[in-house]
Amino acid sequence: MKDELRHIELNDWITITLLSCVVIIVIARWFSAFNITDLLSSYFKDRFIKLSRNGEDGSSVLIVSSVVVYSINISLFLYLFYQISFNKLIELNGYIMVLTATSVFVLAKHFIGKLIATLCNFEEMLFTIDHHRNIYRAMFAFGLLIINLIVIYAFEMHENVFLTSFITICLVLFAYNLILIYRYRNMLISSNFYFILYLCTLEIAPYLLLYKYIML
């Protein structure tokens, strides 16, 4: 592997990107009456989840900003992992393409879900699950930011550390999807049609289409 792939300057675009994430979080905190600890407490209790459903005290600002940070960091991690694994140059243009694809995928998944929910009359169920999913994404944003900082700067983007982190992130994301389904199992299983439609259309199909697109 070439040394220039792992060399990090303090003023490079990766550093600026990560610093921008911190700035986004700080600004969001200013406009929200909730603390970041309130958001992170959703790992253990439902208070913030229930309050934020109605957008109380600017909670939506904190959630949306954290989801943006989540998208930025997951895209950065995936891009760097791919480039390092295949010994390719790390360039800003490539990262922007990955970030755009990730953002389009998340937004398309959200709006297609809303469309299907409206047509099939299960908007309330989808809103409840999707809101909880966004809370999880917002919480994971902080973990992903820390992982990127450690992998990029502490371990200088070592391939084995990237691989270990990649496996860990995949397991966590898979686990939280299972937790969501288990948590709302009564709501989903109450109608076999909605349960099958939710799994196939909103959980499985988007990732299969993304995989097919990547493999083309």
Decide if pLDDT at 12 tops 80. Answer: yes
* pLDDT above 70 (res 138): yes
The pLDDT tens digits for 66-118 are 999 999 999 999 999 999 998 898 899 999 999 998 888 888 777 877 777 77
Per the model's pLDDT, the better-predicted residue between 200 and 162 turns out to be: 162
Which pLDDT value is given to residue 68? Answer: 94
User: Among residues of the chain, what percentage have pLDDT more than 90?
Assistant: 36
Q: Distances from the Cα of 186 to the Cαs of 118, 182, 194, in angstroms?
A: 20, 8, 12
Per-residue pLDDT, averaged over 118-133, amounts to 80
- Averaged confidence pLDDT in the chain: 82
The pLDDT value recorded for residue 187 is 75
How far, in Å, CA of 93 to CA of 81, rounded?
16
